[in-house]
Amino acid sequence: MADAREETLEEESLAEAARRLKAIIVGSLGNLVEWYDFYVYSAFSLYFANSFFPGEDPVAQMLSSAGVFALGFFMRPIGGALFGEIGDRFGRRRALTLSVLLMCLGSLIVAATPGYATIGEAAPALLLFARLLQGLSLGGEYGSSAAYLCEMASSRRRGFYSSFQYVTLIGGQLTALLVLLVLQNLVFTPEELRAYGWRVPFAIGAALALFALVMRRDLEETQAFASEASPRRRSSLRALLSYPREAATVVGLTMGGTLAFYVYTTYIQKFLKLSAGLSDAQTTWISAGSLVFAMALQPAYGALSDRVGRRPLLIGFGVLGTLFTAPLMTAIQTARGPWTAFALVLAGWLIVGAYTSINALVKAELFPASVRVTGVAVPYAVAVSFFGGTAEYVALWFKSAGRESWFYYYVSAAIFCSLIVYARMPETRAASRIDADVERA
């Protein structure tokens, strides 16, 4: 009798693990599609900048393109508030479904918009509108997916499983780069890519977003949300005002990490081409290879955080990022050949990965279920808008002013400010509010 009971419990445990794993995989794949749609803009901006922004100076064209990229980020706090309300009031699944639908619309607009030569100033205006829609979508995606993955994961392996948010986030950019490599080497000539081939990846993104929409319609809701699923009079954004310390912590821990992340993702491709002097193909291969390495780092660091805690990894990133960002960027700029540059970019990821792997989890562990999506999304989006979204624009501005090295120290200073927050914040693994929600459920 006892053996039969133990066998039943074991089967239930396996079924529960399978249920969690399926939900995490489906949620992660949708996250990958969202970030592919957002990052494909950066990956192909070298080819479509001249279609929307006339002129002869490539740096000026890239500056205009980066400006539109940055403006899209300023919709993310609005998206975080809007989808935070949906996610905290009506469920994580509904927020995730609506966000990917909005991303699909943005990709379709970019794919179909004629160039400046055809419709004049309406072309960059439509491009900006599409990016604002995508920024709104991504503002909701981050908080919703962070809450969903962290709540679905078991407490003992929450760092490992939640790290897949950034595995798929980075995977979205890697997919964009792989599409770029295929189109560069197998489908189009450089002239054809600049003329019309750049539209193909945006059309692919719209189709993938529709696929993600279908997948997310069948997602099951988390137990943590179910424990809080009762009518609430206050909006989630107003409820967030009851957690000012936690919200400020999210802004502080994000600013340096998100700036470093966008340096090694969106900006590094332009940096390798415009500053290190590498070819288009070399910059694409280095970016793609470094992202594969970064993806492998995320679960490794996430699993480490389950053993030693979240705070030691964040402090490690803060110390190493403050000390070595400027030397690394200087070395990449003066690298003799692509292999040296590649090794240096990997060294940068060894530092940044300690932040990216667990930052969403740390934020989710700070808030109760009733305000978790909003608590993660809105303060994060504010920090990303001012530091992450402007990284490429600020870097190119320093370059155009002849003071490129100043950008390196700007990044180091932001990481140091975050280090102060890491040193003062609590260890969230030991006092996770997610565990309290699950126990109540």
Residues 429-439 have pLDDT tens digits of: 877 777 665 55
Check residue 10 and give its pLDDT. Answer: 44
Cα 415 to its chain centre, rounded Å, is 18
Q: Is 78 exposed, middle or buried (0-12, 13-18, 19+ CB in 10 A)?
A: middle
Average pLDDT over residues 161-182: 87
Predicted confidence (pLDDT) at residue 6 exceeds the cutoff of 50: no
Rounded distance between C-alpha atoms, residue 109 and residue 92, angstroms: 27
Residues 6+ apart with CB under 8 A from 80: 139, 140, 142, 143, 374, 377, 378, 380, 381
Q: Is 14 exposed, middle or buried (0-12, 13-18, 19+ CB in 10 A)?
A: exposed
Rounded distance between C-alpha atoms, residue 145 and residue 135, angstroms: 15
Stated as kind and residue range, the H or E segment containing 363 is helix 359-366
Check residue 7 and give its pLDDT. Answer: 44
Rounded distance between C-alpha atoms, residue 282 and residue 394, angstroms: 24
Check residue 5 and give its pLDDT. Answer: 42
Q: Is the dihedral of CA 300, 302, 308, 314 positive or negative?
A: positive
Closest-CA residue to 106 (of 140, 137, 62, 74): 137
- DSSP per-residue letters across 106-155: HHHHHHH---HHHHTTHHHHHHHHHHHHHHHHHHHHHHHHHHHHHHHS-G
pLDDT-derived band at 379 (thresholds 50, 70, 90) equals: very high
The percent of residues above 90 in pLDDT, for the chain, comes to 27
Check residue 329 and give its pLDDT. Answer: 93
Rounded distance between C-alpha atoms, residue 85 and residue 140, angstroms: 10
Question: pLDDT higher for 351 or 95?
Answer: 351
Convert the pLDDT of each residue in 301-333 to its tens digit: 999 999 999 999 999 999 999 999 999 999 998
Check residue 93 and give its pLDDT. Answer: 83
Closest-CA residue to 25 (of 156, 161, 160, 120): 161
Rounded distance between C-alpha atoms, residue 35 and residue 174, angstroms: 10
Rg (CA), the chain: 21
Rounded distance between C-alpha atoms, residue 319 and residue 323, angstroms: 6
Check residue 309 and give its pLDDT. Answer: 92
99 in Cβ contact with 34 (< 8 Å) = yes
Check residue 12 and give its pLDDT. Answer: 44
Predicted confidence (pLDDT) at residue 253 exceeds the cutoff of 90: yes
Convert the pLDDT of each residue in 268-297 to its tens digit: 888 888 887 888 788 888 988 999 999 999
Convert the pLDDT of each residue in 98-157 to its tens digit: 888 888 888 899 889 888 778 888 888 888 888 888 888 888 888 888 888 888 877 788
pLDDT-derived band at 211 (thresholds 50, 70, 90) equals: confident
Q: What is the pTM of this model?
A: 0.83
Average pLDDT over residues 366-377: 88
